[in-house]
């Protein structure tokens, strides 16, 4: 069962400038940064709040590390902006299978490693009214 909005992913050309905008404008601070080589992105997670299920809600700022990454291609086509929405779940495997059973295409056969050691998969935007949707099971260590 989906429990919260885990994060909203925002694609950007310059991570440092975008982080500074969110810090100066809204007072959001960076909670975590990492480079995900598999996905070809450098990212910063800005924590917005804690949630009742023990998780948190974030803004995830994404800068491509290579032009052929999914985010790099998306930026070239669309420019900066909201890239995806992610819903938190305690069971990414079970929820992905249940959603697949409803006719929605799940992009990964098996969940992959996401930010902060989470387990993730994506749902096809054409099956979700144009919204790239991510399912996330947080790593309990974060």
* Residues recognised as catalytic: 7, 43, 60, 84, 134
Cα-only R_g, the chain: 15
Burial 61-97 (b: 16+ CB within 10 A, else e): bbbbbeeebbbbebbeeeeeeebbebbbbeebeebbe
Order across the sheet with 41-50: list the strands: 30-36, 41-50, 56-64, 2-11, 81-89, 133-137, 119-123, 112-113
Which among 77, 86, 61, 68 is positioned nearest to 11, based on CA atoms? 61
């Amino acid at each position: 069962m989906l429990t919260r909005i885990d994060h909203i992913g925002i694609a950007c050309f310059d991570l440092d400038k975008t982080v500074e905008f969110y810090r100066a404008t809204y007072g959001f601070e960076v909670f975590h940064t990492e480079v995900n080589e598999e996905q070809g992105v450098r990212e910063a997670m800005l924590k917005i709040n804690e949630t009742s299920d023990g998780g948190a809600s974030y803004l995830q700022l994404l800068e491509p590390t290579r032009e052929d990454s999914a985010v790099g291609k998306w930026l070239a086509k669309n420019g900066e902006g909201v890239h995806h929405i992610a819903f938190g779940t305690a069971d990414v495997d079970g929820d992905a299978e249940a959603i697949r059973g409803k006719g929605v295409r799940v992009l990964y056969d098996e969940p992959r490693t996401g930010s902060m050691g989470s387990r993730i998969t994506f749902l096809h935007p054409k099956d979700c009214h144009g919204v790239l949707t991510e399912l996330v099971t947080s790593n309990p260590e974060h």
